[in-house]
Homo-oligomer: A and B are copies of this chain.
Amino acid sequence: ETIAKVIDGKSVAKHIKEEISTEITRMKEAIGVIPGLAVVLVGDRKDSATYVRNKKKACDDVGIKSYEIHLPEDSTEQEVLKYISEFNDDPSVHGILVQLPLPRHMNEENILSAVSIEKDVDGFHPLNIGRLAMRGREPMFVPCTPKGCIVLLYRYGVTIKGKRAVVIGRSNIVGMPAALLLQREDATVTIVHSRTKNPEEIVRQADIVISAAGQPNMVRGSWIKPGAVIIDVGINPVDDPESPRGYRLVGDVCYEEACQVASAITPVPGGVGPMTIAMLLSNTLSSAKRAHNFE
């Protein structure tokens, strides 16, 4: 019985952050510019606050200056747009990130579209997604989580071209752009979603699986083709009385079973999660370099 290689996202992310840190020092010394990332947080969701805190800490670690605006839940769309517009105009800000989800009374489309495409480090602007989908076009930024998945495949030497790939999930922020990226790399891609019949049969044909369904332990060992590479994006809380917090986080893939069948797999936590933040830092650095024509 083979045991899958563990794709160590935490270690890859650490390595990438070191590279970013070195680049930032080099840029600062050469042209005196420090990359800046602005985060707009609206409301009091605990998980969102945690994500924002983690992003801020990651910025500190590598030398990106972070700006944060925290608005109350009952703010108006207008107020959010005002801050975005200020950040758009501020030359010391190279990336702007609106933490999702926004309160229900706000129009996410309007707000995300207000972020200048040059500073849209999340890559969620529809113009950016359009470029990602089109042949012969280049997106300004590749969305962070899907980019993290592809970088993990690269760093572990997984060939994508010509391979069958299945993406589970089609959200704007993970599944759909992940599928577009795999297709750009010449995989043959199938997207599985909640209306898909017999997902197990389809997943079983894949050499590469990226799962972003948000369903704990949905992908069983029997769904996996022997030797497939599994990237598990899911971060799902499940009750666990043994854990100090009363729950623990698991992926979409039944890890123990998958380890017996796959050739390589990302753990949860410690797989895609740390890569997402590393890619955000990387996009922010790229944006600063582009703004100042620094290579």
A188, B203: Cα distance in complex, Å: 12
Whether the Cβ atoms of B186 and A193 lie closer than 8 Å is yes
In the assembled complex, A183 has its CB within 8 A of some CB on chain B: yes
> A166-219: which residues lie under 8 A (CB-CB) from chain B?
170-172, 176, 180, 183, 186, 188-193, 195-197, 202
Q: Which of A2-10, A126-134, A148-156 contacts B (4 or more CB under 8 A)?
A: A126-134
Copies in the complex: 2
Question: Known interface pairs A126-B137, A133-B130, A136-B172. Does A188 touch B188 (Cβ–Cβ under 8 Å)?
Answer: no
Which B residues touch A188, using CB under 8 A?
190-193, 195-197, 202
Question: How many angstroms between the C-alpha atoms of A205 and B137 in the bound complex?
Answer: 31
Q: Is the CB of A129 within 8 A of B133?
A: yes
Residues of B within 8 A of A176 (CB): 133-135
- The answer for the CA separation of A115 and B172 in the assembled complex, in Å, is 26
Q: Is A91 an interface residue (CB 8 A)?
A: no
Q: Closest CB-CB distance, A4 to chain B, in whole Å?
A: 23
Rounded to whole angstroms, the CA-CA distance of A183 and B196 in the bound complex is 10
Residue A89 lies at the interface, judged by CB distance under 8 Å to chain B = no
- Rounded to whole Å, the gap between the CB of A203 and the closest CB of chain B is 11
Indicate whether A15 reaches chain B with its CB closer than 8 angstroms.
no
Q: Verify if A109 is at the interface (C-beta below 8 Å from B).
A: yes
**A190 / chain B contacts, CB cutoff of 8 Å:** 188-190
Instruction: Report whether A183 and B191 are in contact in the complex, using a CB–CB cutoff of 8 Å.
Output: yes
A125 within 8 A of B: yes
Contact of A131 among B126, B137, B193, B196 (CB under 8 A): B126
Structural contact, A161 and B127, CB atoms closer than 8 A: no
How far apart are the CA atoms of A162 and B176 in the complex, in Å? 18
**Do A196 and B137 have beta carbons less than 8 Å apart?**
no
A131 / chain B contacts, CB cutoff of 8 Å:
126, 130
Chain B residues with CB under 8 Å of A126's CB are 127, 130-131, 133-134, 137
**Apart from A126-B127, A135-B171, what 11 extra A-B contacts exist at CB < 8 Å?**
A125-B130, A126-B130, A129-B129, A133-B176, A134-B176, A136-B172, A183-B191, A183-B193, A186-B195, A188-B192, A190-B190
Residues of A within 8 A of B (CB): 108-109, 125-137, 161-162, 164, 170-172, 176, 180, 183, 186, 188-193, 195-197, 202
Could you give 9 example pairs across A and B, Cβ below 8 Å? A109-B137, A125-B130, A126-B127, A128-B130, A133-B176, A134-B176, A135-B170, A188-B193, A189-B190
Q: When A and B form their complex, which 4 residue pairs have the shortest distance between CB atoms, in order from nearest?
A: A130-B130, A126-B130, A129-B130, A190-B190
